[in-house]
Amino acid sequence: MTKSKGEGKFRSSDFKKIGKNVVFEDGVRVFHPESISIGDDVYIGHDTVLEAYHKNEMVIGKGTWVGPGCFFHSAGGIRIGKAVGIGPGVKILTSVHKEGALSKPIIHNRLEFGEVVIEDGGDIGMGAVILPGITIGKGAQVGAGTVVTKNVEPFTVVAGNPARLLRKRKKK
């Protein structure tokens, strides 16, 4: 069993891979850094929780910006591409307890895992929630407060609860 590093004290050498010019603001907490790879020029805002897992991996690509107060739980794996903007308070979840018998608390049921992928150049608005097994396509924009329950096509804009297509992005 690997010990978590969630007390807020971690070193670059604790990570699977860490690039140059990575900024961790005050209050960032990291669990299982040995399962986290971070590219160059990444910013992680204050009070963010990177909760990796003893299996699967959390990957944050080059040039990505993560706002303050985010929560990433990568039991099912998280892959964030290059140059992705992630607003404050975004939650990324990769596991869920399945329903079972009514006599059993839901928390005691089996976990189901689903990797979350955010492709290059996307933007996730403040307070968005991304549920397990979701892929957000290249260059897609997710509005503030959106709950993403289905895959998001590349170069589209979605918002709402649940997320719904607002429009396709146009070339400028």
**Which residues form the catalytic set?**
97
Q: Please state, as a whole number, how many other Cβ atoms lie within 10 Å of the Cβ of residue 9.
A: 9
C-alpha 48: how far from chain center: 11
Angle at 135 between CA 144 and CA 63, to 5 degrees: 70
Structure token pair of residue 103: 């006599």
The DSSP output letter for 83 is T
Cβ neighbour number for residue 124 with a 10 Å cutoff: 28
| CB distance 104 to 86 below 8 Å | no
Report which residue type is found at 75: A
| Per-residue buried b or exposed e for 105-119, using 16+ beta carbons within 10 Å of the residue's own CB | eeeeeeeebebbbbb
Coarse DSSP helix, strand, coil percentages of the chain, rounded to the nearest 5 percent: 5, 35, 60
